[in-house]
Amino acid sequence: MSRPTVARLAVVTCYRHPDYIRAITLRQGVVDSGVVGETIVVKNTRRGVLRYVDVARQLVRLSLAGRPDAYLVTFRGYEILPIVLLLAGRRPVYYDEFINPVEWFVDEHHKFPERSLRARALRGVYRVLMRRCAGVLSDTASHARYSADRMGLDAERFSVVPVGSDEATFVPQSDRSGSTRSVSEPFTVLYYGSMLPLHGLDTVVASAALLRTDARIRFLFVGGGEQTAHLIAEARAQGSAVDHRDWVDYAALPALFGQVDLLLGGPFGGTVQSRFVVTGKTMQYLSSARPAVVGENEETSVFTDRSDALVVPQRDPAALAETIVWAADHPAELERIGSRGRLLYERLWSSARVAEAVRVLLLDGGPQVERP
């Protein structure tokens, strides 16, 4: 066996969900890459503001015991990144951007006006931090290009590492209850998640309203807060066939996927962020060999509509409703779409692809992000 390129690498996570799927797949990708001798996981055990103190203390102790040869900071890393850079000294720091904070605060949620002092200060400080990093990871090529242009940086600084999925949890199911659904049972469409603007909850609810006269079709919404529950309750009062659950445990998601007929991956919001992503839930659906509906954007050219996924325009309730009706009319074809979606997942986004991207990153700084 050849000698590892990086003898000791610290993977640092400081987030309210320290085992967020992006962090899990990156940690595993580092191990599977075959070029790291020892992987040191540094993650918060506290929540709120205390998580920053917790991770900072762990990093200081790690430095005193003998600094690693390199660091990888996972999402949401920009808050802890200055401390990692300070403690790393001249050692390389790789930063998983995943979401650009300028994009999030200024472009997506409009919390800081574009020309405000806060927006300019955020962009300036963040740009300095990014320039200090040995490399920046992004989930998609289009997102990398957008961030590079937004920050005035060379695209070559970015490497694309796919999100992937928890493949031990989200596996193809050979015996699904949904595959034996009788004609008297409703055709159930699942939409779950945190209901951020990019996800386009309003588009899905509007689609349900258009389908309220089709007695075959019901929608199940999972997640969101009080605003989501209120919106769905209003839709139900107006005749839409919609149900809502506040939450489903992570371990119960595979069973839920097997109980429904069609899974909405999105994004459908038509926002800035929605232009560049293949959502995490889409990855879970594809990994599970379940038929997914995705919102058309700069990354969906890899899909073939009605072959390995169902592709619809974003912010178009009528198009989404039409696609759902087609799906309800073609249950056998949905099973084939799910199987082909799994093959596409294996080819582009699987754990093997994540490990390969990490390996290239650590060996030579990562692949260059091509301009369209």
Instruction: Examine the domain organization and report whether 341 and 354 are in the same domain.
Output: no
Instruction: Examine the domain organization and report whether 139 and 43 are in the same domain.
Output: yes
Match 């469409």 to its residue by tokens: 189
The pLDDT assigned to 299 comes to 97
- Name, in order, each residue with C-beta under 8 angstroms of 273's C-beta and a sequence gap of 6 or more: 99, 103, 104, 107, 108, 197, 198, 267
Instruction: Examine the domain organization and report whether 126 and 18 are in the same domain.
Output: yes
Instruction: Examine the domain organization and report whether 149 and 212 are in the same domain.
Output: no
The pLDDT assigned to 5 comes to 84
Domain count, the chain: 2
Instruction: Examine the domain organization and report whether 276 and 158 are in the same domain.
Output: no
Strands (E), the chain: 6-13, 36-43, 70-73, 93-96, 135-138, 158-160, 187-192, 217-222, 242-245, 262-266, 292-295, 310-312
Instruction: Examine the domain organization and report whether 254 and 148 are in the same domain.
Output: no
Instruction: Examine the domain organization and report whether 147 and 188 are in the same domain.
Output: no
Instruction: Examine the domain organization and report whether 329 and 359 are in the same domain.
Output: no
Residue 153 located in a structural domain? yes
CB 99 within 8 A of CB 75: yes
Please give the single-letter amino acid code of residue 322. Answer: E
Residue 171 located in a structural domain? no
Query: Of 14, 24, 26, nearest to 94 (Cα)?
Result: 26
Residue 219 located in a structural domain? yes
Query: Of 101, 54, 104, 105, nearest to 79 (Cα)?
Result: 101
For position 36, which CATH number holds?
A: 3.40.50.2000
The pLDDT assigned to 367 comes to 46
CB 355 within 8 A of CB 161: no
Cα separation, 364 vs 87, whole angstroms: 23
Structural domain harbouring 270: 178-348
Residue 28 located in a structural domain? yes
**β-strand partners of 40:** 10
pTM of the model: 0.90
The pLDDT assigned to 372 comes to 43
Residue 17 located in a structural domain? yes
Strand order in the sheet with 36-43: 36-43, 6-13, 70-73, 93-96, 135-138, 158-160
- Whether the upstream peptide bond of residue 76 has omega within 30° of 0, thus cis, is yes
Instruction: Examine the domain organization and report whether 115 and 233 are in the same domain.
Output: no
Query: Of 41, 357, 117, nearest to 368 (Cα)?
Result: 357
Instruction: Examine the domain organization and report whether 23 and 49 are in the same domain.
Output: yes
Instruction: Examine the domain organization and report whether 244 and 131 are in the same domain.
Output: no
Cα separation, 270 vs 253, whole angstroms: 26
Instruction: Examine the domain organization and report whether 70 and 95 are in the same domain.
Output: yes
Residue 158 located in a structural domain? yes
Q: Which token pair is 88? A: 């790393």
Per-residue pLDDT of the chain (372 residues; tens, 9 = 90+): 455 789 999 999 999 999 999 999 999 999 999 999 999 999 999 999 999 999 999 999 999 998 999 999 999 999 999 999 999 999 999 999 988 999 989 998 899 999 999 999 999 999 999 999 999 999 999 999 999 999 999 999 999 999 999 999 999 976 444 445 556 689 999 999 989 888 999 999 999 999 999 999 999 999 998 999 999 999 999 999 999 999 999 999 999 999 999 999 999 999 999 999 999 999 999 999 999 999 999 999 999 999 999 999 999 999 999 999 999 999 999 999 999 999 999 999 999 999 999 999 998 754 444 444
Longest dimension (CA), the chain: 67
CB 354 within 8 A of CB 161: yes
Cα separation, 366 vs 97, whole angstroms: 15
Residue 370 located in a structural domain? no
Residue 102 located in a structural domain? yes
